[in-house]
Structure 1
């Protein structure tokens, strides 16, 4: 019966897992589909009319549509005047007079934007443009990346997303974008230029850069994690291959998109970055294939492994010996190589699934998701459709499933260990009197299984301790990571135990950094008033009773007297319209901050008052603690306020808790203030508008 129950439980958990993964995949597909939707306004004959559109209320807008275009072909001095669709690579495009554009040449894009007068600065975010450009706004030179010359000798390529700012008070903006390409197989503008207010574009920049930093950091740290596993157990070469795949995907990500490597290494040239991109593209596919060929070696033959290695070495050698222009023209060979390895991996995983290999189903699902993103990137970089670079996200999806696979493997091993332990006990009792020799063998087997069980329990305890450490240590994570990585690189750490300790500490700091970034995401959404809210009316008296039931037992156990009381004559008939989950987050922040600064034996008072005359509700959290220093009072709601005595949020000490609480309250149309009580301690007050006429 126990075995049957375990199987049923595993089947139910398996069905839930597949439902979850299917939902993630569908959301990803819908997200990709949404990325290619048509813009709400489009340029015609070089004019984009936005006069009936407000940047402040409607947000950013892509500068897409029909731009004026002047083409200077390589080796020709006579310009050709026409129009061209943006975004679009110009290779193969036919102009109005029938001229078919080549990949190499020089083009001048012009666009007139008619917009409302805006008393402030507007901004344009420019993507990677192949492969050098100069931008003029209203005849004023604003930006040059590389040198947009008229020929190969006078052109210096360089690509990096950038932002330019200009005065929006004129109501008319003239853009002139000069683009030269003599170094790559594709020239022109692949993705949209985005216009908006300076704050909107800065938020967009921050969002995209943060997203890339998070993905890059995750891939790099997961790579180091698997590299550490390989260092501890050299026979598991699959861990080494997986680590190298993560490193090369993150390396490719560092030279495309927002160009993290170009920001970190200003001396890095476009040529070197392009060679790194192509090398990483080929080697990430090679080591990914090596990982699965090692994991499912019975389904993927050694001949394929050797062929993939030889082809990968040849492609990398070509990338660093052949001029970049020719290498970029050979991209189809790189793409065929990646697709062939992906197809062979999928075929091997299908066969492994048919043979019921452990972990084959999750691996197949993850690789299929990664292959979808690879195909998306191939179409995107060939200019066949408008999308986003998704390969790094596909790899994160694969890593997620790989983590599920490892967890399931441990879980099944633990279940099998318990079942075998129970069976061995029964057999030992039955055979003890009859066969002494068999009893001795069974006893030894039982001891070995108990030892395995103990090891699994110790591993689980170690994992819990790691999670606990991650939640408490977020100081200087980057400095610590750099120090340990340099120590590993320089060979300072030789002892395996010390190496394992260093790797675990690095992982702890990365998780802390991710938590800090998540708080920043939340705060950015709240500040932009884009955080989702589920508002519903709630009676003040009911809310007060629930809060009292929730916090009173815990605070009493900690030696703090807690009181929850109501004020005013209309508490039972007064309602506020709030998102209970978000407001509970605010109150938890305030109460736990008070608890942190209130000594044992002190008190915390929660008071809810309905002020009918003012049509507002007042929620106060008062304590008898140390209070807030008068110099800190004006600043406690600022993010990362540096005074260590300032009260921090209870969610990990990121320095953002009170800032987030303030933004949540303001999204409810309320106000959050702080003051010191005359008798000592602090008082934090939330004021919220009452719903008129009850509900």
Structure 2
């Protein structure tokens, strides 16, 4: 687990480096002061870019044409960029978000750039603008106006190229905002050579394409897992997170959606950006709850789901100028939801749930990215949008966790198969040796003869039914009563032969157990973890019958755990027998619970492993005989279930070899509880 966490942090730093490369790194330079930015001391190298941050001249509620721009004076007003103009104080109070203004910046460029092509990277400017360079329009986004009715909103990053005719270049920018809560711009303008700006833009696009494609691949992969295992909802919710984050990434940063669908309306694009954030958090809540139901609170989860559903509807029915004002509600709700999920994961980690520790590390880093974006979009820090990278990191980490779980389950299954094969080979050899010893021994002949006669009588009775059925079908085929071309009768005959084989195998197993002919391989196990692993192994198979299967850990919390010396394969055989008996007599829609707890019996502390069901139950007069060989209750006969009646007898012998006890509690029509007690020991001699 530590190695996995170290890997996550390594990926985190790599992604940090990727985001840094993608954003373009500006050279060391000064900032604009009083509307002038001096870059004449810098050489515009091939990949070097420079920001236009600093003080721009600012003319509120004025659209000044470049040809009639006034000279700077002591009364000129300046605003710091990047930033919103509502941070500017005028007449003792901040400017409103809605309005229009003219920005002006004089660039002093090096002589080497004169009459060559320069590149300019323009970030998102809220919410429409026109940009001049030396009285020539070089960029437009939307249509700025002096009122909402006369402007057309649009904002997405652009790259433009122009040829400076002189070393001094005047940039004049008309901006208007009447459609959302933000104004001005919150990321940097960049200038440099044409190649330098283009390469910076290409890095930005490549980074976002990498994120989107990776998220889509992860989404498709987990949708495939869900289609193969539709009862397991976690992959479906995980793919929903991937799709929501991929969609949000398309509408942020370089706004890649504009490259594929340039006709998408501005208002619709902004709604989808907000909706995708709601959808991502919603799928997060469902995903974590599906993985850690025992550690989360359904009411809190439903409360958050209701809250984000209301935010979704609010965005749907209101225009951007209304719902963007509620951005803090969405941001605050997201931070609270992720904080709650971290609390759930910490609880799961304390309860020693698989993968919880690595999950906590990934979610904590994601929360840091979310908080950073909340601060960025509220102009507290200027780091750029990073939550997409944080989400990608989290999803990649979670994908690794899920893959690790599936791989471990597969490895455990392969190892168990190999061990069972070896055990079967060993048991067969033991049976042969035991048979040889019995043939050589000649003691207690009267008792052996009586037991053999009783055994043969029971065996004859059990074998007679399937043999009679086989004989009837075959006779019918020979006489022509049954059509030989009907494959269903061959299938019935084949099924009866399988049942005969089951009877013979069970008899052989019981004989070995009763004669102590099986060698047990005891090992120390934490019974809590061991029982939970068995629950996971049989969960899917039981729930395939539409039965709810639960695991209840009633052991007190203990750092030392509960050590029990067992043969894992044989104890699994006992639990498997009890589970499938419960499954057989529980109708669809019923419940089966695997319980591990500590019990006192005869003044001694025991570990109890119980299988509870709400099925048919057992009559009181039948309870003393349920562990006898070949015993079948009325419930079996009424359901016409084929059974040998040896499973519980075999289980009893295995538990006896562990110095334990088998018990049963049952009420007819209400269900049964079969359980066995194992002594809690530190070692077995």
TM-score (norm 2): 0.58
Structure 1 gaps of 5+ residues are 1-13, 444-448, 453-695
Distance 2:101 2:264 in 1: 26
Distance 1:440 1:194 in 2: 83
More deviation in 52-61 or 36-45? 36-45
The counterpart of 2:48, out of the listed 53, 59, 76, is 59
Q: Does the CA-based 8 Å contact 1:279-1:316 persist in structure 2?
A: yes
Distance 1:326 1:418 in 2: 59
Matches within 5 A, 1:606-625: none
1:23 Cα deviation from its structure 2 partner: 3.2
Q: Does the CA-based 8 Å contact 2:18-2:207 persist in structure 1?
A: no
The counterpart of 1:50, out of the listed 16, 26, 39, is 39
The counterpart of 2:177, out of the listed 161, 164, 181, is 181
Aligned to 2:508: 436
1:38 Cα deviation from its structure 2 partner: 9.4
Q: Does the CA-based 8 Å contact 2:118-2:193 persist in structure 1?
A: yes
1:270 Cα deviation from its structure 2 partner: 1.2
Distance 1:37 1:194 in 2: 8
Aligned to 1:301: 297
Tell me the secondary structure at the aligned position of residue 175 of structure 2.
strand
Tell me the secondary structure at the aligned position of residue 298 of structure 1.
helix
Aligned to 1:351: 347
Matches within 5 A, 1:127-276: 127-276=123-272
Q: Does the CA-based 8 Å contact 2:99-2:178 persist in structure 1?
A: yes
Aligned to 2:81: 86
The counterpart of 1:109, out of the listed 92, 100, 103, is 103
Aligned to 2:4: 17
Q: Sort the Cα spacing of 1:237 and 1:15 in 2 relative to 1 into closer, same or farther, 3 A.
A: closer
Distance 2:252 2:279 in 1: 16
Q: Sort the Cα spacing of 1:221 and 1:419 in 2 relative to 1 into closer, same or farther, 3 A.
A: closer
Distance 1:47 1:298 in 2: 62
Aligned to 1:420: 416
Structure 2 gaps of 5+ residues are 64-69, 435-506, 519-533, 538-685
1:415 Cα deviation from its structure 2 partner: 4.3
Distance 1:158 1:164 in 2: 17
Q: Sort the Cα spacing of 1:18 and 1:241 in 2 relative to 1 into closer, same or farther, 3 A.
A: closer
Aligned to 2:459: none
Structure 1 residues 584-632: Cα deviation after superposition (integer angstroms, max 9, x where no partner): xxxxxxxxxxxxxxxxxxxxxxxxxxxxxxxxxxxxxxxxxxxxxxxxx
Distance 2:80 2:165 in 1: 28
Q: Sort the Cα spacing of 1:73 and 1:169 in 2 relative to 1 into closer, same or farther, 3 A.
A: closer
1:309 Cα deviation from its structure 2 partner: 2.2
Q: Does the CA-based 8 Å contact 2:102-2:173 persist in structure 1?
A: yes
Distance 1:416 1:65 in 2: 61
Q: Sort the Cα spacing of 1:440 and 1:331 in 2 relative to 1 into closer, same or farther, 3 A.
A: farther
Structure 1 residues 46-105: Cα deviation after superposition (integer angstroms, max 9, x where no partner): 00111110012671001111111111199xxxx99510111112223325x655211111
1:299 Cα deviation from its structure 2 partner: 1.1
How well do the aligned residues superpose, as a CA RMSD in angstroms? 3.0
Report the structure number with the largest CA radius of gyration. Answer: 2
Q: Does the CA-based 8 Å contact 1:32-1:387 persist in structure 2?
A: no
Distance 1:307 1:430 in 2: 57
Q: Sort the Cα spacing of 1:262 and 1:32 in 2 relative to 1 into closer, same or farther, 3 A.
A: closer
User: Number of residues paired by the alignment?
Assistant: 427
Q: Sort the Cα spacing of 1:195 and 1:89 in 2 relative to 1 into closer, same or farther, 3 A.
A: same
1:221 Cα deviation from its structure 2 partner: 2.4
Structure 1 residues 663-689: Cα deviation after superposition (integer angstroms, max 9, x where no partner): xxxxxxxxxxxxxxxxxxxxxxxxxxx
Tell me the secondary structure at the aligned position of residue 364 of structure 1.
helix
Tell me the secondary structure at the aligned position of residue 89 of structure 2.
coil
1:26 Cα deviation from its structure 2 partner: 4.6
Q: Does the CA-based 8 Å contact 2:55-2:78 persist in structure 1?
A: yes
Tell me the secondary structure at the aligned position of residue 123 of structure 1.
strand
Distance 1:187 1:414 in 2: 55
